[in-house]
Structure 1
Amino acid sequence: MSHTKRKTALIIGSGFGGLSLGIRLQSLGFDTTILEKLDAPGGRAYQKRTQGGYVFDMGPTVITVPHFIEELFALERDKGMLAEPDYPEHVLTGERVREGESGGPRTREYVRLVPILPFYRIYFDDGTFFDYDGDPESTRRQIQVLAPGDLAGYERFHADAEAIFKRGFLELGYTHFGDLPTMLRVVPDLLKLDAVRTLFSFTSRYFESPKLRQVFSFEPLLVGGNPLSVPAIYAMIHFVEKTWGIHYAMGGTGELVRAFVRKFEELGGRIRYGAEVEEVLVTDDRGRPVRRPVGKRVARGVRLTGGEELSADLVVSNGDWANTYLKMVPPQARLVNTDLRVRAAKQSMSLLVVYFGFRDDGQPLDLRHHNIILGPRYEELLREIFGDRVLGVDFSQYLHVPTLTDPSLAPPGHHAAYTLIPVPHNGSGLNWEVEGPRLVERVFDFLEERGYIPGLRARLTHREFITPDYFEGTLGAYLGNAFGPEPILAQSAYFRPHNRSEDVRNLYLVGAGAQPGGGTPSVMMSAKMTARLIAHDFGIHPEIRDGVPEGAGAAD
């Protein structure tokens, strides 16, 4: 690079978005410091270790698109690689996933990824199940048993979901929708693909069986979306998983977080823990305080709780979008992301997550690594969580038992598990100090009485849980949301928070709250999109316009 003085960057938060962007900024030649409120990295992907020898990933457990990870580990200091690498065909098609090869050669220097099959076992309330593994032949065989009349519908769904995947993910995945013209250019394609109707409505066109409608629409719940509300473009998740598989980092997702930290520090980056940001420092273009939301506004650094001020050429928030603006950016510096607009946005659901350890006792578990346990109601329960914001008489859950793959997460002869229950965010007014323990007991009763973990209570050796209060208090998420703004059509693409602040120059966003949205692959994509914007704004790659290299992206 020709710059004589290195530019400096501050990133608020060390989640996957902050770490991925930190690695990219170091490769672009910035001196980057990540400021983390907690005592260890990860944010929502924080990993907890107990005195009893259990290891719990507190957040994401599903890893897909391993070549995104490989790309980050392959970056070098000051190289500035932002174009798409020339991936071998087998990487783009995922053909080696079933051979047990996860990740590329650089990834294997930092962390061991292994494929998980089936991706999920989906249990229905009547005791039947569907092993979702992405294999069309296996899928056809199971449909033949569950609902043979839907076989033809599956073929049509498969073809149409693939078309959405190719356009929405492979071609438009890194497009930053920073203006309306960029958005309007893709609308005809989305309409042609029928990708703007709701996912559940889209899925219902192909399947008569309620069970299959659930199998092929539940996945947005893993990124905070309501299948009854998210646009059908989320059908692409089916093909993302089918193409590249589901993977697990040995040692837990926390091992991948630590691997990213190691890479970031090898490139010269720095992380400060226990460094909570209180305010983004904003001035006018002459360095004077901003008194009203007009004129030029520039981010100059941050103030930490306790009063310490840090200056930088740019600031990026990997924190919650709503609270970044409501709590960190002064109101007099905000003309677009005003209090009124931010508070009016719909936030995603929240979660109650129970972390527990139990003795093996020689009793085999008829479970898989990832288990989706659906309750007796699907549409009604979703409406209660997202619309009515009440706790229903029943619940669905995602039960994660990583020790079936990786016994190192528990003491010998024990299992570590967590089960995740979608619940309303704190706009519900629910008192989680009362409702939390009650729901936990209901969950333990269910898992034992329905035979998922026989004799569970007698075998328990560790138990703890988090509620929306954890997301609101510890993680700083507005209303205790678990995934940022809800991914409805009116909050997608151009209408989702922008990765380059519309209010303050040199202020950027990255992560689940920004474009393209939630989920570990999308968060890593968000980091590349934000890095491209920064590279353009700071003259490192002037050919990049609004996050897309010239001749690529939305205009194609």
Structure 2
Amino acid sequence: MSTPAPTPRPEPEHFHPRRKTALIIGSGIGGLSLGIRLQSLGFNTTILERLDVPGGRAYQRRAGGYVFDMGPTVITVPQLIEELFALQRDHGRLSAPDFPPDESREHTEKYVKLVPILPFYRIYFDDGTFFDYDGDPQHTREQIGELAPEDLSGYDLFLRDAGAIFQRGFLELGYTHFGDLGTMLKAVPDLMKLDAVRTLFSFTQKYFQNPKMQQVFSFETLLIGGNPLSVPAIYAMIHFVEKTWGVHYAMGGTGALVRGMVQKFEELGGVIEYGAGVEQILTAKEGRRQVAQGVRLEGGDERRADIVVSNGDWANTYLKRVDKKARRINSDTRIKFAPQSMSLLVIYFGFRDDPANPLTLRHHNIILGPRYEALLREIFGKKVLGRDFSQYLHVPTLTDPELAPAGHHAAYTLVPVPNNASGIDWAVQGPRLVDRVIGMLDDRDYIPNLRNRLTHIDYVTPDYFEDTLDSHLGNAFGPEPVLAQSAFLRPHNRSEDVTHLYLVGAGAQPGAGTPSVMMSAKMTARLIAQDFGIHPDIAD
């Protein structure tokens, strides 16, 4: 729809009248990654952030002397971060090697310190046994020999076949934007041959008889919002992603990585406006197409730009911010029937250390409940709260003591729950579930005497994701990564409905997770470069 011209406003110092302008909605990791790339391609880029600080889902909260990452905590493929921090103004490097083998952190270390974490995860089973998941095949075999010796030969076959999926699905197709059906159809025969389109859980069952091993080699998709019972087996590549590049932690928390990205973006001339929620994406009809013209902020102010990019929730970007008349592909009907990922209850808590009872936990802990398949069906299918739960317990002060006052620990525990399509009243059920989770950690001696040692506790429910982060139905990871919402069938990074409107982040291709949203930024930058006739690697 047409809109009146906005009142002129002073241009930022980096403005150059011959440069194209870009507006990015949201300063999550995807939006910041793309902002850095667009600045490096010569755009004048402004990021509009609704909240008071950057990060989006990677928001960082400080309370009572504690520092809590509220979202992602697992960092893999650090080369993606190094590549971002190496970019320069007008030197975009979009065709640089996608996954460079160089382990250098030369540029990253100017902005944030990354340290490796071992084991990647300690996985606790309900019977009290545990498995240290560290990517070392020999150590893995030793643990399988103790817990499930019948699966030793299966593990070797799994390594072979998951490695082949990793080679094709990640190394070769990782940066492929499936913008047309033909691109996807070209990849399907190889993926069928690799058996990568069956569900991940059934894929693991081919190799492992023991339920514990089936869980160890399928749980990881829960960290990106995917149900192991329904995501395609191409996600078996996660094992090799971690095995190849390890799991890392940003000292100071993921918030420190966000701050480093903001610093880099601003060094390149980018601008971030906080408290700048976007009410509407402005479009105008040019010929037969709707074209993005800019945005209207919640206070009524307008911003004009050559391109608009949403790092927000895919469903709400279209439902709330794009005129219904401008949407043919991303229609209300499509969004209504698109499954959204699960949501989360996340408890942030601080507690006193107890030298008489030193923690046996690790930095990353997966604590599995007594049921696996049944619980997943309740969360994703029935959308009900079960009688038990599983959780991811993060204790970063085991690596980074400065996140808590001396003699204390900061932690968060993340419990997968149904999204708000469930109709659950979280004002009632949230406190009850928090009490159950804290009680379980205390009673099962994961953190002995936790109730008495607590000095701070807070939590968020799916309502936080829906209201504060503006996620449709309170989803925590965007559209659910089922086969019917993968590749070409997943929302496109270049809008099919509105010219010069783009998407980046968890809701777009390739999907959720810190490395994926950084890859999404490179995909989207490539599409923008194509559309504006920018050479794919102007650094050369």
TM-score range, shorter chain: over 0.9
Which whole-Å CA distance do the structure 2 matches of 1:418 and 1:542 have between them?
Answer: 42
Which whole-Å CA distance do the structure 1 matches of 2:298 and 2:92 have between them?
Answer: 33
Within 5 A, what are the aligned runs for 1:248-397? 248-285=249-286, 295-362=288-355, 363-397=357-391
Which whole-Å CA distance do the structure 2 matches of 1:238 and 1:515 have between them?
Answer: 20
Which whole-Å CA distance do the structure 1 matches of 2:270 and 2:75 have between them?
Answer: 24
Instruction: Note closer, same or farther for the CA distance 1:377–1:108 as it changes in structure 2 (3 Å cut).
Output: same
Deviation at 1:81, TM superposition (A): 1.2
Q: Which residue identity is paired with 2:488? A: Y
Q: Which residue identity is paired with 1:526? A: S
Report whether the alignment pairs 1:510 with 2:522: no
Which whole-Å CA distance do the structure 2 matches of 1:87 and 1:230 have between them?
Answer: 24
Q: For 2:76, which of 64, 71, 82 is the aligned residue?
A: 64
Which whole-Å CA distance do the structure 2 matches of 1:524 and 1:253 have between them?
Answer: 14
Instruction: Note closer, same or farther for the CA distance 1:90–1:539 as it changes in structure 2 (3 Å cut).
Output: closer
Which whole-Å CA distance do the structure 2 matches of 1:87 and 1:231 have between them?
Answer: 23
Q: For 2:522, which of 503, 525, 528 is the aligned residue?
A: 528
Report whether the alignment pairs 1:53 with 2:65: yes
Within 5 A, what are the aligned runs for 1:408-447? 408-447=402-441
Cα contact 1:398–1:419 (8 A) shared by 2: yes
Instruction: Note closer, same or farther for the CA distance 1:434–1:115 as it changes in structure 2 (3 Å cut).
Output: same
Q: Hey, what does 1:28 align to over in structure 2?
A: 41
The percent identity for this pair of structures is 75
Which whole-Å CA distance do the structure 2 matches of 1:360 and 1:38 have between them?
Answer: 33
Report whether the alignment pairs 1:8 with 2:21: yes
Report whether the alignment pairs 1:151 with 2:156: no
Which whole-Å CA distance do the structure 2 matches of 1:129 and 1:207 have between them?
Answer: 17
Q: Secondary structure at the match of 2:115?
A: strand
Q: Secondary structure at the match of 1:527?
A: helix
Which whole-Å CA distance do the structure 2 matches of 1:89 and 1:256 have between them?
Answer: 21
Deviation at 1:79, TM superposition (A): 1.0
Q: For 1:541, which of 525, 535, 538 is the aligned residue?
A: 535
Which whole-Å CA distance do the structure 2 matches of 1:38 and 1:542 have between them?
Answer: 33
Q: Hey, what does 1:491 align to over in structure 2?
A: 485
Cα contact 1:401–1:416 (8 A) shared by 2: yes
Q: Hey, what does 1:553 align to over in structure 2?
A: none
Deviation at 1:90, TM superposition (A): 5.0
Deviation at 1:470, TM superposition (A): 0.1
Instruction: Note closer, same or farther for the CA distance 1:253–1:117 as it changes in structure 2 (3 Å cut).
Output: same
Deviation at 1:86, TM superposition (A): 8.5
Within 5 A, what are the aligned runs for 1:34-183? 34-50=47-63, 52-85=64-97, 89=101, 91=103, 104-183=105-184
Q: Which residue identity is paired with 2:84? A: L
Which whole-Å CA distance do the structure 1 matches of 2:135 and 2:517 have between them?
Answer: 23
Which whole-Å CA distance do the structure 2 matches of 1:275 and 1:298 have between them?
Answer: 22
Deviation at 1:84, TM superposition (A): 2.2
Cα contact 1:199–1:231 (8 A) shared by 2: yes
Q: Secondary structure at the match of 1:284?
A: strand
Which whole-Å CA distance do the structure 2 matches of 1:278 and 1:87 have between them?
Answer: 37
Q: Which residue identity is paired with 1:423? A: V
Q: Hey, what does 2:5 align to over in structure 1?
A: none
Cα contact 1:347–1:481 (8 A) shared by 2: yes
Q: Secondary structure at the match of 1:539?
A: coil
**CA offsets per residue over residues 97-126 of structure 1, 9 Å max, x none?**
xxxxxx611001111000000000000000
Which whole-Å CA distance do the structure 1 matches of 2:105 and 2:177 have between them?
Answer: 27
Cα contact 2:98–2:175 (8 A) shared by 1: no
Deviation at 1:87, TM superposition (A): 6.9
Report the RMSD for the aligned CA atoms in angstroms.
1.3
Q: Which residue identity is paired with 1:9? A: A
Q: Hey, what does 2:6 align to over in structure 1?
A: none
Report whether the alignment pairs 1:463 with 2:457: yes
Which whole-Å CA distance do the structure 2 matches of 1:536 and 1:263 have between them?
Answer: 24
Instruction: Note closer, same or farther for the CA distance 1:415–1:466 as it changes in structure 2 (3 Å cut).
Output: same
Which whole-Å CA distance do the structure 1 matches of 2:98 and 2:418 have between them?
Answer: 43
Q: Hey, what does 1:100 align to over in structure 2?
A: none
Deviation at 1:343, TM superposition (A): 1.4
Query: What are the ranges of 5 or more consecutive residues in structure 2 without an aligned counterpart?
Result: 1-15
Cα contact 1:536–1:543 (8 A) shared by 2: no
Cα contact 2:284–2:293 (8 A) shared by 1: yes
Q: Hey, what does 1:198 align to over in structure 2?
A: 199
Cα contact 1:176–1:515 (8 A) shared by 2: yes
**CA offsets per residue over residues 489-527 of structure 1, 9 Å max, x none?**
000000000000000000000000000000000000000
Deviation at 1:543, TM superposition (A): 9.5
Which whole-Å CA distance do the structure 1 matches of 2:98 and 2:527 have between them?
Answer: 22
Q: Hey, what does 2:11 align to over in structure 1?
A: none
Which whole-Å CA distance do the structure 2 matches of 1:368 and 1:543 have between them?
Answer: 42
Q: Which residue identity is paired with 1:489? A: L
Q: Secondary structure at the match of 2:530?
A: helix
TM-score scaled by structure 2? 0.95
Which whole-Å CA distance do the structure 2 matches of 1:277 and 1:200 have between them?
Answer: 40
Cα contact 1:512–1:522 (8 A) shared by 2: yes
Report whether the alignment pairs 1:399 with 2:400: no
Q: Hey, what does 1:98 align to over in structure 2?
A: none
Instruction: Note closer, same or farther for the CA distance 1:235–1:463 as it changes in structure 2 (3 Å cut).
Output: same
Q: Secondary structure at the match of 2:187?
A: helix
Q: How many residues align?
A: 522
Q: Secondary structure at the match of 1:517?
A: coil
Q: Which residue identity is paired with 1:395? A: F
Which whole-Å CA distance do the structure 2 matches of 1:409 and 1:298 have between them?
Answer: 46
Which whole-Å CA distance do the structure 2 matches of 1:483 and 1:336 have between them?
Answer: 21
Deviation at 1:88, TM superposition (A): 6.1
Deviation at 1:361, TM superposition (A): 2.5
Q: Which residue identity is paired with 1:310? A: R
Which whole-Å CA distance do the structure 2 matches of 1:343 and 1:32 have between them?
Answer: 32
Cα contact 1:360–1:415 (8 A) shared by 2: yes
Cα contact 2:391–2:413 (8 A) shared by 1: yes
Which whole-Å CA distance do the structure 1 matches of 2:106 and 2:535 have between them?
Answer: 28
Cα contact 2:79–2:100 (8 A) shared by 1: no
Which whole-Å CA distance do the structure 1 matches of 2:100 and 2:43 have between them?
Answer: 30
Q: Secondary structure at the match of 1:513?
A: coil
